[in-house]
Amino acid sequence: MSREMTGAQMVLQALADQGVDHIFGYPGGAVLPIYDELAQQDRLKHILVRHEQGAVHAAEGYARSTGKVGVVLVTSGPGATNAVTGLTDALMDSIPIVCITGQVPTHLIGNDAFQECDTVGITRPCTKHNYLVKDVNALSRVLHEAFYVARTGRPGPVVVDIPKDIQFARGEYTGLTNSQHKSYNPRVKGDERAVAQAIELMAKAKRPLFYTGGGIINSGPLASARLRELVRMTGFPITSTLMGLGAFPASDPQWLGMLGMHGTYEANNAMHDCDLMICIGARFDDRITGRIDAFSPGSTKIHVDIDRSSINKNVKVDLPIVGDCAHVLEQMIDAWKAKKPKLDRAALKVWWAEIDRWRARNCLSYRKRDDVIMPQYAIERLYALTRGHDVYITTEVGQHQMWAAQFFKFEEPNRWMTSGGLGTMGYGLPSAVGVQVAHPDSLVIDIAGEASVLMTMQEMSTAAQYDLPIKIFIINNEYMGMVRQWQELLHGGRYSHSYTAALPDFVKLAEAYQGVGIRAEKPSELDDAIREMIRVKKPVIFDCRVDKHANCFPMIPSGEAHNHMLMGDDVTGEDIEKAITEEGKVMV
Amino acid sequence: MAQPGSAYPLEKKEQRPETHTMTVLVDNEPGVLARVIGLFAGRGYNIESLTVSETEHEAHLSRITVVTSGPPMVIEQIQHQLERLIPVHAVTDLTVKGNPLERELAMIKVAGKGEKRVEALRLAEAFRADVIDSSTGHFIFQVTGEQSKIEEFIALMQPLGLVEVARTGLAAISRGPERM
């Protein structure tokens, strides 16, 4: 079906045909024709953010919590450049985003026109693909292709740059077609022979381990369901990266917790000592592997990934399987059922006994205190008191993020939104906005740090405008905690510029944004304050004043192997307190 | 004082670099070359030679021939990273396929008089280089062949009045009847 309409109308029509309900954006000169069309309809809801970075993070939160493509609409020049951090974040974490940017009219491109920038040039390395549309008759095809590219294969952000004259121009609109893309056709099914080999290896394994990641989440709920089936069928232990939390239930006895730099003792030791590693939808990131030449030295490695370039990038694997997690997991389940393998029960029993010894180390233990709230305690209480609610968690980046990953237990996929690859401070608040837009009746909490959250604080205003009752739970220690932790461990405790000396009053700030501010300073106040936060049906900033010097353990220091972890109880609180001088605190 | 450290592993992997010739079949659309070159620059891969031209006009397909070098794991990465680009139809590592035909064309301007001029012309004949422009004071030779032959010819012209050289970069194709 093709119809004549303007470019701006095509944008709205394409979004409708793609089933888009919400877009996050900010108007400006070069997108006004599209905004004019937006005003003349009410099917598509537009969420006006306060900064374009916030628009992309909100779309990421929306996408990650729904499995749909997040859509962003911004103007040319600064609108596009402000979106770059969000686009890069989405690229690193494989989040499907379509970002429509306005551009100066075609005849002005290259003239250094007002609010002109080379959007496709700037966003080329931070998108999965991008387009500059110079012909209105190509616009509908490009928009539909953008959605296809964003959501298929390894998902990612796609930019469509539309010059203003193209938005005004009239042309033919073509709806969705089933035509195959001429060069981009990602493979979803794994090679059957490789799957059979994988099952062989799994049947013989004495110390097997599943190592899973964000690919399972991206693949969809079916992948999580099949992962659970396969893991339970085999009885093997499983760990996951930060991005993969929730794919396998944290309450399951086979779950070892997160692995990596701040992963659990049991997960990291199991990675180091396993004889068969079954990696599904993870990418051997440097936060996971630690020292690469000492990474899991004795294991045979199977790697399932939809992106061929993720295989053998950091770690050489023995059996690569290229395909979508959900499909390959189904193939593995079928092959396992068909083969009915006889497992080496005796060896597996020894392996589990070893794991139980590591578990007994109780690596996440910390010293509770009556006088100050320990950050770990704050998250434990937040977790306990939110049971029975429909909870979605987003985070900023830093210590609080790692504590959230360690102490908040996820049972389901798509409940955990965090900036893993890029590590974008300021991700959590706008992301929570996006999650709340998608799930208006759910409890959406941004576990935040006071430094991170100030980077995108303006989005509180967005939350107020759309009555989004997001909860910003700030683990406030007045430091950029992770920076300080590294300075402590690696730079002789010289706290160069990691202390924020003039923080705002977060309670008053919440009120200024037409929200509610709550503060807790003592462990005895914490539970009631959290209950109050949950009860309030408005945006809340919760200023949780925590121990200023707590550090995040366990930890694999850089350049170390998985079995050389630094444990929390190796470093006493007194040592760290002594290490911090008054001078250090005010070093700004 | 505590030892300064890094949040990243700093050790370097020691692997011997290899030189590979790859051909990349792409849609001939605006920006496609920037995508390919940007990938090499952004990820720190080497480009030793690069040629590009539309080879199938009706399908609007261009063929890029790139000579790159790196350790085996990096070479494998380059191929798969190229394959990830949306307008890329196919990537072939011709070096892995084995013994590809590799040719380059060079135009070489030599100025001089007398004995040197005669010697240049004599060598050009030996290298089967064509004279494509000349005056009483100069020749422009066109020489085609493997890169080693061109290098050799340029070296010989050096003392004979070499002025400048234009080279196309390498074009390569696999042997036998099959398509890439």
Co-location of B91 and B105 in the same domain: no
Instruction: Measure the CA–CA gap between A90 and A218, rounded to whole angstroms.
Output: 12
pLDDT in tens, chain A (588 residues): 579 999 999 999 999 999 999 999 999 999 999 999 999 999 999 999 999 999 999 999 999 999 999 999 999 999 999 999 999 999 999 999 999 999 999 999 999 999 999 999 999 999 999 999 999 999 999 999 999 999 999 999 999 999 999 999 999 999 998 878 999 999 999 999 999 999 999 999 999 999 999 999 999 999 999 999 999 999 999 999 999 999 999 999 999 999 999 999 999 999 999 999 999 999 999 999 988 889 999 999 999 999 999 999 999 999 999 999 999 999 999 999 999 999 999 999 999 999 999 999 999 999 999 999 999 999 999 999 999 999 999 999 999 999 999 999 999 999 999 999 999 999 999 999 999 999 999 999 999 999 999 999 999 999 999 999 999 999 999 999 999 999 998 889 999 999 999 999 999 999 999 999 999 999 999 999 999 999 999 999 999 999 999 999 999 987 788 888 888 876 655 454 444 444 444 433
Name the burial class of residue A398, with classes exposed (0-12), middle (13-18) and buried (19+) by CB atoms within 10 angstroms of its CB. Answer: buried
Instruction: Measure the CA–CA gap between A305 and A98, rounded to whole angstroms.
Output: 23
Which pLDDT score is estimated for A578? 46
Cβ contact B169:B50 at 8 Å: yes
Residue B174 belongs to some domain of the structure:
no
Residue B37 belongs to some domain of the structure:
yes
Residue B46 belongs to some domain of the structure:
yes
DSSP string, A446-458: EEEEHHHHTTSTT
Residue B10 belongs to some domain of the structure:
no
Which pLDDT score is estimated for A217? 98
Query: Among the residues of A455-572, which ranges form H helices?
Result: 459-465, 481-490, 506-512, 523-535
User: Of B8, B30, B84, which has the smallest distance from its Cβ to A309's Cβ?
Assistant: B84
Residue A394: name the closest of A479, A470, A283 by CA.
Answer: A470
Neighbours of A130 (CB within 10 A): 26
Q: What is the domain-level CATH number for residue B114?
A: 3.30.70.1150
Min Cα–Cα distance to chain B from A491, Å: 5
Residue B92 belongs to some domain of the structure:
yes
Which pLDDT score is estimated for A473? 98
> Of B36, B64, B97, which one is at a domain's C-terminal end?
B97
Which pLDDT score is estimated for A559? 75
Min Cα–Cα distance to chain B from A291, Å: 6
In chain A, residues with a C-beta closer than 8 Å to the C-beta of B3 are 490
Q: Amino acid letter at A352?
A: W
A499 secondary structure, DSSP code:
B
Instruction: Measure the CA–CA gap between A61 and A73, rounded to whole angstroms.
Output: 16
Instruction: Measure the CA–CA gap between A462 and A416, rounded to whole angstroms.
Output: 21
Q: Do B5 and A489 touch (CB under 8 A)?
A: yes
Co-location of B120 and B83 in the same domain: no
Co-location of B75 and B138 in the same domain: no
The sign of the CA dihedral A301, A305, A309, A313 is negative
Name the burial class of residue B46, with classes exposed (0-12), middle (13-18) and buried (19+) by CB atoms within 10 angstroms of its CB. Answer: middle
Co-location of B165 and B134 in the same domain: yes
Q: Do B84 and A290 touch (CB under 8 A)?
A: no
Q: Give how many domains chain B has, as a whole number.
A: 2
Residue B2 belongs to some domain of the structure:
no
Co-location of B80 and B130 in the same domain: no
Co-location of B31 and B90 in the same domain: yes
- Residue B3 above 50 pLDDT? no
In chain B, residues with a C-beta closer than 8 Å to the C-beta of A183 are 26-27, 86-89
Instruction: Measure the CA–CA gap between A218 and A214, rounded to whole angstroms.
Output: 6
For A258, list phi and psi in degrees, rounded to 5: -70, 155
Structure tokens at B42: 């952004």
DSSP string, B73-93: HHHHHHHHHHHHSTTEEEEEE
Cβ contact A352:A205 at 8 Å: no
The answer for residues whose C-beta is within 8 angstroms of residue B35's C-beta and 6 or more apart is A124, B85, B87
Co-location of B24 and B89 in the same domain: yes
User: Of A128, A183, A492, which has the smallest distance from its Cβ to B87's Cβ?
Assistant: A183
Which pLDDT score is estimated for A587? 37
Co-location of B27 and B92 in the same domain: yes
Residue A437: name the closest of A466, A461, A472, A459 by CA.
Answer: A466
Which pLDDT score is estimated for A569? 72
Q: Do B9 and A286 touch (CB under 8 A)?
A: yes
Name the burial class of residue A416, with classes exposed (0-12), middle (13-18) and buried (19+) by CB atoms within 10 angstroms of its CB. Answer: buried
Q: Do B84 and A182 touch (CB under 8 A)?
A: no
Q: Amino acid letter at B81?
A: Q
For B102-136, what is each residue's pLDDT tens digit?
A: 999 999 999 999 999 999 999 999 999 999 999 99
In chain A, residues with a C-beta closer than 8 Å to the C-beta of B10 are 558-559
Which pLDDT score is estimated for A572? 54
Which pLDDT score is estimated for A312? 95
Which pLDDT score is estimated for A530? 98
Co-location of B139 and B80 in the same domain: no
Name the burial class of residue A495, with classes exposed (0-12), middle (13-18) and buried (19+) by CB atoms within 10 angstroms of its CB. Answer: buried
Residue to substitute from B63, B80, B88, interface A, most A β-carbons within 10 A: B80
A122 touching B, CB under 8 A?
Answer: no
- The per-type count for chain B, helices as H runs and strands as E runs, is 5, 9
In chain A, residues with a C-beta closer than 8 Å to the C-beta of B30 are 132
> Of B57, B76, B97, which one is at a domain's C-terminal end?
B97
In chain A, residues with a C-beta closer than 8 Å to the C-beta of B9 are 286, 290-292, 558-559
Co-location of B73 and B137 in the same domain: no
Q: Do B5 and A132 touch (CB under 8 A)?
A: no
Neighbours of A535 (CB within 10 A): 9
- Which residue range(s) make up the domain with B129? 101-169
Q: What is the domain-level CATH number for residue B88?
A: 3.30.70.260
Q: Do B7 and A486 touch (CB under 8 A)?
A: yes
Co-location of B50 and B109 in the same domain: no
Which pLDDT score is estimated for A383? 98
In Å, what is the CA distance from A204 to each residue of A200, A348, A473? 7, 10, 47
Residue B33 belongs to some domain of the structure:
yes
> Of B38, B62, B97, which one is at a domain's C-terminal end?
B97
Q: Tell me the catalytic residues of A.
A: 52, 114-115, 164, 482
Residue B115 belongs to some domain of the structure:
yes
Co-location of B33 and B76 in the same domain: yes
